[in-house]
Structures are given as structure tokens and as C-alpha cells.
């Protein structure tokens, strides 16, 4: 999601995707599968014809011919390639260029582009064209509440569980097939929210500090876990009616044995076998087992996302600003517990904290509220939230110390509760200091001095820079004028 905020009237342009399920009859003759296949073929042809070179200085360059070079209108065997909207190929070209660019920029992280395979995720993307033309909505548009028009493909029957935002323009659509064989379409909307008035930043604002917890997802500054928080907020929001409120679970761990059993069943099957006349025959049981395993994993992910979406909505509704720590989930997932002990990867990934913070950010922005990010170098665990005493050096709390006991004021509290209180205090400080400088816009607020690298990307620091530039410009023009007066009288 991209967002831009303008300081004056708080008009926010939001780019947001909604993912809809394609109905069962929405894919006649496997038109989506065929289109994805054509895209894959074209991508691989373009990649095959790409000339790459690494020069003596180690700079990676590439030259990719565009898709029209591979569309032969005369070739009768390839007429199927012409039945697909050309936007699909154009986007495949864009994807390939991006893959090369990524590799050139960061070869350690991104390898050389790989051929698209049928066994990986099937998908294709189209950009909307002719917006404001004959049809104001463009070539890709809703025909009614459940039919999406795609050029050349036609009307696709979609289960539209939610109406598009008012005044939204469709920017692009991405069709993708999940591992269990269901087709989905992500419709990317761009729309403007105006008329929201962000609450003025005063001491009356209601804030909450959230500390990440491996076991409970989070602990807030009142010591509530994610499970207690959702129950309390849902009861307050729906007058005590808790129907449909999900509970926090270790979703993956609960289903782990079942997933393992399904995986074993799959491992015992073969995808194809040779018939009597030597022609390979696809095994139905193999694909059935594969879909069952994929469905089981999908279910786990869906339950997790449902919980996170509902919790983030309740938190965004109930509070004016939310303070969280800026964590590297990748680093935490790699960290091992104890000496040579097991790693925290499974628990960390099962929580979905990163996705939760992303949801919070989006929802708070839409409501004109603030997500305050506290630096990861802020010692939230090592500080006493009562007297401010800080553990240093050898006295530092280890990950296994679950209780914080202060030697100065004698307070004994849960370690995560203490951290959450510290995060709230520090987040409040950041919000007020950014507000006094005029940099607190709805959405993400953070200390501009957090990281050198991210400073350059941050809007607030860019503004800082502009202010400096403005002063330099004013001063230099004043000097020029003054010199002019001195010389020419
Ligand atoms: Zn203390």
C-alpha cells in the first residue's frame, strides 16, 4: 500500500488491493489457466533471448527483447498466443526487467532471473487502460456487483464480498491460483479519503503500547495478551456480543501433526506412471493428495489472517495512537533460544506480527490516526518503567528472564508488561516531538533520526532537508542582491 499525505487539508490518496475469490463458474474452459500459461511461455521466451553481461567492473547489464518480437501473427500453430490480452505480456516484460534490475542492484539477495515454472504459483497481471475514455472507469471495470470485465477474456464471475471504496479507480488486477487450485483476483484500487479530521495531538489522545511476545503475539501496557485484548475490545465494541470473535491460537502448531500426516500421504504417491503402452499417465490420487495438503495449510493461514484483521480493526477503532517497536522479524526468527537450543522461527512465523503491524498502519491511516514506531535500539526491556533505571553490561536481562525486578525502586513486574509501558512512554514522546516540528501526519510516525539509510527515504526528513535548502537559497539570494547594490550603487 502506498500513501501520500498532504499537510494542508489532510486529503489522503490510498492505493489498496481487495482480493476476491473467482466463482466456480468464473473460469470457463480454464481461460485463466490458459492465460497464465501464455504469460509463462512469453516470459520464458523473453528470458531465453535476454543477453546479459557482467563487465570488468562487475556491473551487470542486460538486454531483453520485448514481447512483440515473439508474437508471430502468420504462425498458425501459435494463434492461441493472440487470444490473450497483450497487457499480460507487457506486464511479464515489466516483471522480467524488474527481476534483472533487482539482481543488478543487490546480487547477494536476488539471484539471476529464473524461468517461470508451472509448478510454482500461477498468476498474471493486467493494468487498466483507457481510464476516462469511452468508459470513465477504463477497460477493466465492474459490470455489476459480481462481474469484472477483462479485455479479451470477458466478464469474470467474482464473489465480491465487499464493495469497492467510493470513487475508486481500478489501477490493475492480478489473477492468481492458490496451491489448492482456487483462483483469486486482487483488484488494486486508488481512491482519495477526504473529510477526515485527524485528532489534534494533545494529552487527551488515547494511546496503547504493544510489545511483541513470542508466546502471546503481544502484551499491551496493561498486561493484556492478544487474546485478552481482542475479547475486551470486542465486548466493548459490540455490547458484550462475542459472536464471531476469533481466539488467539498457535495456529500452525495446532495443525502441525495433521499437516505432517497429509505430507506423508503425498510423499507415498507418484505424480505419474507409465501405462501399458508406455505413455505416462497423470495420477489423480497424487494431485488429490497435493490439493488436500495445500488446503490444510491454507486453512491455517486464513485463520491467522482472520484473527489479525479483526484484532487490528478493533485496536484501530479504540485508540488514537498505537506504539510498536520496530523489529526485524527475520532476525528474531533466526535467533536460537538458549545454548545450541531450538530456534524461534516456527513460533515467530506462526504469530504474523509483521502482517499485524502492516494492517494496523493501513487502518490507522484510513481513520486519521497514528502508528508510532519506536526504534529497535530503544532499550525497552532494560529500562524500569517506574524509575527509569537501566540495566547495562553484564546485568542486562536475558531472553529467559521473564520477570523484571528493579534494584533501585524495587518494583517487580512481568518483563513484557514493563517493555510495553516503556514503548508507550517513548512512542508518546516521539509523537509529541514530531508534532511540535510539524511532521506528525496520520499513518506512520517515527523518530527521523532512527537510521541513516532510511532517513533518506523518509518523507519527514526530506521535508527537513527542504527547509535547510530553502534557508540556503534565501541567504544566497540575499548575498547576491547585497553585492549587486554595493557594486552598482
Ligand atoms: Zn525502578
Kindly give the distance from the C-alpha atom of residue 412 to the centroid of ligand 1, in angstroms, as a whole number. 9
Element (H, E) at 192: strand 183-193
CA count, 13 A, side-chain hemisphere, 180:
12
CA count, 13 A, side-chain hemisphere, 130:
10
Kindly give the distance from the C-alpha atom of residue 392 to the centroid of ligand 1, in angstroms, as a whole number. 14
- Round to whole Å and give the CA distance between 475 and 72: 63
Do β-strands 370-374 and 443-446 pair in parallel, antiparallel, or remain unpaired? Answer: parallel
What does the pLDDT read at residue 343? 73
SS3 label, residue 41: helix
Kindly give the distance from the C-alpha atom of residue 387 to the centroid of ligand 1, in angstroms, as a whole number. 4
First to last CA, the chain: 58
Kindly give the distance from the C-alpha atom of residue 383 to the centroid of ligand 1, in angstroms, as a whole number. 8
User: 381 with 418: CB under 8 angstroms?
Assistant: yes
Kindly give the distance from the C-alpha atom of residue 390 to the centroid of ligand 1, in angstroms, as a whole number. 8
User: Where do the structural domains in the chain lie, given as residue ranges?
Assistant: 3-193, 207-250+297-450, 462-489
pTM: 0.83
Kindly give the distance from the C-alpha atom of residue 405 to the centroid of ligand 1, in angstroms, as a whole number. 8
- Round to whole Å and give the CA distance between 314 and 323: 15
Kindly give the distance from the C-alpha atom of residue 49 to the centroid of ligand 1, in angstroms, as a whole number. 67
Kindly give the distance from the C-alpha atom of residue 419 to the centroid of ligand 1, in angstroms, as a whole number. 13
Kindly give the distance from the C-alpha atom of residue 391 to the centroid of ligand 1, in angstroms, as a whole number. 10
Kindly give the distance from the C-alpha atom of residue 159 to the centroid of ligand 1, in angstroms, as a whole number. 56
Kindly give the distance from the C-alpha atom of residue 3 to the centroid of ligand 1, in angstroms, as a whole number. 41
Kindly give the distance from the C-alpha atom of residue 417 to the centroid of ligand 1, in angstroms, as a whole number. 14
Kindly give the distance from the C-alpha atom of residue 420 to the centroid of ligand 1, in angstroms, as a whole number. 15
Kindly give the distance from the C-alpha atom of residue 77 to the centroid of ligand 1, in angstroms, as a whole number. 79
- Round to whole Å and give the CA distance between 343 and 329: 13
The residues pairing with 122 across neighbouring beta strands, listed in sequence order, are 177
User: 303 with 189: CB under 8 angstroms?
Assistant: no
Kindly give the distance from the C-alpha atom of residue 422 to the centroid of ligand 1, in angstroms, as a whole number. 12
Kindly give the distance from the C-alpha atom of residue 404 to the centroid of ligand 1, in angstroms, as a whole number. 9
Kindly give the distance from the C-alpha atom of residue 151 to the centroid of ligand 1, in angstroms, as a whole number. 66
Kindly give the distance from the C-alpha atom of residue 188 to the centroid of ligand 1, in angstroms, as a whole number. 50
Kindly give the distance from the C-alpha atom of residue 427 to the centroid of ligand 1, in angstroms, as a whole number. 20
Question: In which residue are the cell numbers 514481447 written?
Answer: 67
What does the pLDDT read at residue 276? 81
Kindly give the distance from the C-alpha atom of residue 110 to the centroid of ligand 1, in angstroms, as a whole number. 47
pLDDT tens-digit profile, the chain (489 residues): 444 444 456 678 889 999 999 999 999 999 999 999 999 999 999 999 999 988 888 889 999 999 999 988 888 899 999 999 999 999 999 999 999 999 999 999 999 999 999 888 899 999 999 999 899 999 999 999 999 999 999 999 999 999 999 899 999 999 999 999 999 999 999 999 887 778 788 888 999 999 999 899 999 999 999 999 999 999 999 999 999 999 999 999 999 999 999 999 999 999 888 888 888 888 899 999 999 999 999 999 999 999 999 999 999 999 999 999 998 888 888 876 655 556 788 888 899 999 999 999 999 988 889 999 999 889 999 999 999 999 988 888 887 888 999 999 999 999 999 999 999 999 999 999 988 888 888 888 888 766 543 444 444 444 444 445 556 655 777 777 777 777 766
Kindly give the distance from the C-alpha atom of residue 323 to the centroid of ligand 1, in angstroms, as a whole number. 22
Kindly give the distance from the C-alpha atom of residue 223 to the centroid of ligand 1, in angstroms, as a whole number. 18
User: 389 with 403: CB under 8 angstroms?
Assistant: no
Produce one character per residue of 117-136: b if its CB has 16 or more CB atoms within 10 Å, e if not: eeeeebbbbbbbeebeeeee
Kindly give the distance from the C-alpha atom of residue 423 to the centroid of ligand 1, in angstroms, as a whole number. 16
CA–chain centroid gap for 435, Å, is: 27
Element (H, E) at 429: helix 415-436
What does the pLDDT read at residue 73? 86
Kindly give the distance from the C-alpha atom of residue 326 to the centroid of ligand 1, in angstroms, as a whole number. 24
Kindly give the distance from the C-alpha atom of residue 327 to the centroid of ligand 1, in angstroms, as a whole number. 25
Kindly give the distance from the C-alpha atom of residue 294 to the centroid of ligand 1, in angstroms, as a whole number. 50
What does the pLDDT read at residue 342? 60
Kindly give the distance from the C-alpha atom of residue 338 to the centroid of ligand 1, in angstroms, as a whole number. 27
Kindly give the distance from the C-alpha atom of residue 307 to the centroid of ligand 1, in angstroms, as a whole number. 36
Amino acid at each position: 500500500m502506498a500513501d501520500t499525505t498532504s499537510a494542508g487539508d489532510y486529503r489522503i490518496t490510498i492505493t489498496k488491493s481487495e482480493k476476491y475469490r473467482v466463482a466456480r463458474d468464473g473460469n470457463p474452459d480454464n481461460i485463466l489457466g490458459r492465460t497464465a500459461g501464455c504469460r509463462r511461455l512469453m516470459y520464458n521466451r523473453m528470458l531465453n533471448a535476454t543477453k546479459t553481461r557482467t563487465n570488468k567492473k562487475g556491473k551487470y547489464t542486460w538486454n531483453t527483447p520485448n514481447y512483440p518480437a515473439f508474437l508471430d501473427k502468420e504462425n498458425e500453430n501459435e494463434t492461441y498466443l493472440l487470444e490473450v490480452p497483450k497487457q499480460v505480456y507487457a506486464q511479464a516484460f515489466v516483471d522480467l526487467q524488474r527481476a534483472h534490475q533487482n539482481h543488478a542492484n543487490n546480487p547477494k539477495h536476488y539471484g539471476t532471473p529464473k524461468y517461470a515454472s508451472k509448478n510454482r504459483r500461477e498468476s498474471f497481471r493486467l493494468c487498466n487502460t483507457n481510464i476516462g475514455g469511452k468508459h470513465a472507469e477504463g477497460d477493466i471495470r465492474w459490470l455489476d456487483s459480481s462481474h469484472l470485465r477483462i479485455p479479451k477474456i470477458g466478464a469474470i464471475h467474482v464473489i465480491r464480498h465487499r464493495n469497492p471504496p467510493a470513487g475508486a479507480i481500478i489501477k490493475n488486477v492480478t489473477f492468481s491460483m492458490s496451491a489448492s487450485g482456487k483462483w483469486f483476483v486482487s483488484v488494486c484500487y486508488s481512491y482519495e479519503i477526504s473529510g477526515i479530521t485527524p485528532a489534534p495531538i494533545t494529552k487527551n489522545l488515547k494511546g496503547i503500547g504493544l510489545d511483541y511476545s513470542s508466546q502471546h503475539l503481544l502484551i499491551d501496557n496493561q498486561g493484556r495478551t492478544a487474546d485478552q485484548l481482542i475479547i475486551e475490545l470486542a465486548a466493548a465494541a459490540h455490547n458484550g456480543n462475542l459472536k464471531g470473535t476469533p481466539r488467539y491460537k498457535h495456529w500452525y502448531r495446532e495443525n502441525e501433526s495433521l499437516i505432517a500426516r497429509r505430507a506423508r500421504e503425498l510423499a507415498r504417491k507418484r505424480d505419474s506412471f507409465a501405462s501399458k503402452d508406455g505413455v505416462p499417465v497423470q495420477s489423480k490420487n497424487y494431485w488429490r493428495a497435493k490439493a488436500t495438503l495445500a488446503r490444510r495449510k491454507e486453512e491455517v493461514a486464513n485463520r491467522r489472517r482472520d484473527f489479525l484483521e479483526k484484532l487490528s480493526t478493533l485496536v484501530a477503532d479504540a485508540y488514537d495512537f498505537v506504539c510498536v517497536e520496530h523489529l526485524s522479524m527475520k532476525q528474531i526468527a533466526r535467533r536460537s533460544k538458549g545454548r545450541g537450543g531450538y530456534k524461534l522461527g516456527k513460533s515467530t512465523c506462526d504469530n504474523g506480527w509483521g502482517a499485524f503491524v502492516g494492517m494496523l498502519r493501513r487502518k490507522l491511516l484510513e481513520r486519521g490516526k497514528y502508528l508510532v514506531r519506536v526504534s529497535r535500539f530503544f532499550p525497552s526491556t532494560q529500562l524500569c518503567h517506574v524509575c527509569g533505571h537501566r540495566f547495562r553490561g553484564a546485568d542486562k536481562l536475558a531472553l529467559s528472564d521473564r520477570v523484571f525486578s528493579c534494584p533501585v525502586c524495587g518494583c517487580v513486574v512481568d518483563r513484557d508488561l514493563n517493555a510495553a509501558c516503556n514503548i508507550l512512554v517513548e512512542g508518546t514522546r516521539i509523537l509529541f516531538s514530531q508534532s511540535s516540528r510539524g511532521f506528525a501526519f496520520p499513518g506512520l510516525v517515527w523518530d527521523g533520526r532512527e537510521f541513516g539509510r532510511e532517513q533518506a527515504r523518509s518523507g519527514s526528513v526530506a521535508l527537513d532537508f527542504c527547509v535547510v535548502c530553502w534557508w540556503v537559497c534565501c541567504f544566497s539570494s540575499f548575498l547576491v542582491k547585497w553585492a549587486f547594490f554595493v557594486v552598482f550603487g
